[in-house]
Structure formats: C-alpha cells, structure tokens
C-alpha cells in the first residue's frame, strides 16, 4: 500500500510530467532537497507544504480552461490534499480529546482529595 506522499507525487507528476523532486520541493514552498529528505526519513510532508501546494494548484487552475482534463486532475489533487489535512487534524483532535479527558480526570481527583482534607475557612473579625 502506497503512502499519501507517494500518491501525491505520482498524481502531481501525471499533471506535470517534467516535474523533478527538486522542482516539486520548490512547488511545496520548501528547499530543493525537502522532498528527498522527507522521503528518505519516512516523514510526512508538512501541513504548510501541503497548503503551499494547494495554493500553487489553484493558480495553475486559473491558467487552464475549466473544461480541460488537466483542470479536473488539479482539482483531484487538491481534494487529496484536503482529505489528508482534515484526516490529520481529526486524528490530532481525537488524541487531544483523550489527553484532555485524562488531565480532567486527574484534576478532578486532586480537587476531591484537596477538598476532603480542608475544612471551612476560618472566620476572623478585626476591630478597627
């Protein structure tokens, strides 16, 4: 099964056959070695780079006629990007919710322990 990054590069090179990994890195708004580096390390392309690529594709769509098959292919790539970014944020939100629940439970327990060990605040009257 191919990773999203490999699918993305393959889809982009179908739309722009003369693409090299260096030119693709620049299209992502990164240095020329960015794509090679993340692929060699097995990392995911950053959300910033994906947004840069989507903006680039939007500019390319302006230059292509609406009914052109290339415009459809560019929209398909943008949908791939959108799905991936949404998937990432949903995954982060789920893990955040789990962490938040754990912290809230710990805080509630600490609050119960603290309230059980203290009585009412002392009442002090001062005569002036």
Q: pLDDT digits over 68-94, tens only?
A: 888 899 999 999 999 999 988 887 776
Q: Mean pLDDT score of the chain, rounded to an integer?
A: 84
Flag whether 50 is in a domain. Answer: yes
Flag whether 119 is in a domain. Answer: no
Under the banding of pLDDT at 50, 70 and 90, the label for residue 1 is very low
Cα–Cα distance, 14 to 24 (Å, whole number): 12
Cα Rg of the chain (Å, integer): 26
Flag whether 85 is in a domain. Answer: yes
* Domain region containing 60: 4-93
pTM of the model: 0.69
Flag whether 117 is in a domain. Answer: no
Report how many domains make up the chain.
1
Determine whether 74 is exposed, middle or buried from the number of CB atoms within 10 Å of its CB (0-12, 13-18, 19+): buried
CB atoms near residue 91 (< 10 Å): 10
Cα–Cα distance, 49 to 45 (Å, whole number): 7
Flag whether 27 is in a domain. Answer: yes
Q: What kind and span of H or E run contains 91?
A: helix 69-117
- Record the tokens describing residue 10, joined without a space: 């393959």
Greater pLDDT, 3 or 128: 3
SS3 state of residue 2: coil
Flag whether 39 is in a domain. Answer: yes
Flag whether 99 is in a domain. Answer: no
Flag whether 57 is in a domain. Answer: yes
What share of the chain has pLDDT > 70, as a percent?
76
What share of the chain has pLDDT > 90, as a percent?
55
């Amino acid at each position: 099964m191919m990773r999203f990054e490999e699918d993305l590069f393959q889809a982009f090179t179908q739309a722009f056959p003369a693409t090299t990994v260096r030119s693709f890195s620049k299209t992502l708004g990164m240095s020329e070695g960015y794509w090679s580096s993340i692929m060699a390390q097995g990392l995911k392309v950053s959300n910033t780079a994906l947004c840069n690529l989507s903006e680039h594709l939007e500019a390319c769509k302006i230059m292509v006629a609406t009914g052109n098959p290339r415009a459809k292919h560019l929209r398909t790539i943008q949908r791939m990007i959108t799905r991936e970014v949404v998937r990432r944020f949903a995954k982060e939100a789920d893990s955040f919710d789990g962490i938040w629940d754990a912290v809230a439970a710990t805080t509630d327990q600490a609050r119960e322990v603290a309230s059980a060990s203290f009585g009412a605040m002392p009442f002090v009257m001062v005569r002036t």
